[in-house]
Amino acid sequence: MANIAIFCRKTGATAVNTAAHFRAQGLDVSLFVVEVGVRTKRSATERQFLAAHAQFRRYLVRRSSLRERIRLAATGVFHRLPSACQDLARPDVFRQAKAMGIPAVVVEKHSTPEARDLLERHDISYVLLASSAWLIKEPLLSMPTTRIINAHCAKLPEHRSLDALPWSVLENDPVGLTAHFVDQGIDTGPVLLFEEVVPQPGDNLIRLRQRVDAKKPEVFLKAVRGLVDGTLSPVSQQPSDGVYHRPMTFDELVEAERALQRRVASAESRP
d(CA 94, CA 268): 43
Nearest-Å Rg of the Cα atoms of the chain is: 18
**Average pLDDT value for the chain:** 90
Separation between Cα atoms, residue 152 and residue 142, nearest integer Å? 21
- What is the model's pTM? 0.90
What stretch of H or E contains 47? helix 44-62
Report pLDDT digits (tens) over 82-97.
333 444 456 899 999 9
Q: Give the list of residues 6+ apart from residue 213 with CB closer than 8 angstroms, or none.
A: 14, 79, 85, 86, 87, 88, 153
Determine the distance from the C-alpha atom of residue 111 to the mean position of all C-alpha atoms in its chain, rounded to a whole number: 18
User: Which domain covers residue 96, as residue numbers?
Assistant: 4-269
Predicted pLDDT at 68: 62
Q: What is the CATH number of the domain that holds 171?
A: 3.40.50.12230
- The total domain count for the chain is 1
pLDDT tens for 227-266 read: 999 999 999 998 788 889 999 999 999 999 999 999 999 8
DSSP E strand boundaries for the chain? 4-8, 31-35, 104-107, 126-129, 147-152, 159-161, 176-181, 191-196, 243-245
Q: What are 128's strand-pairing partners?
A: 6, 149
Q: Considering only CA atoms, which of 105, 75, 68, 107 is closest in space to residue 90?
A: 75
Dihedrals phi, psi of 115, to nearest 5 degrees: -65, -40
Q: For residue 196, what are the contacts with CB-CB under 8 A and spacing of at least 6?
A: 174, 175, 176
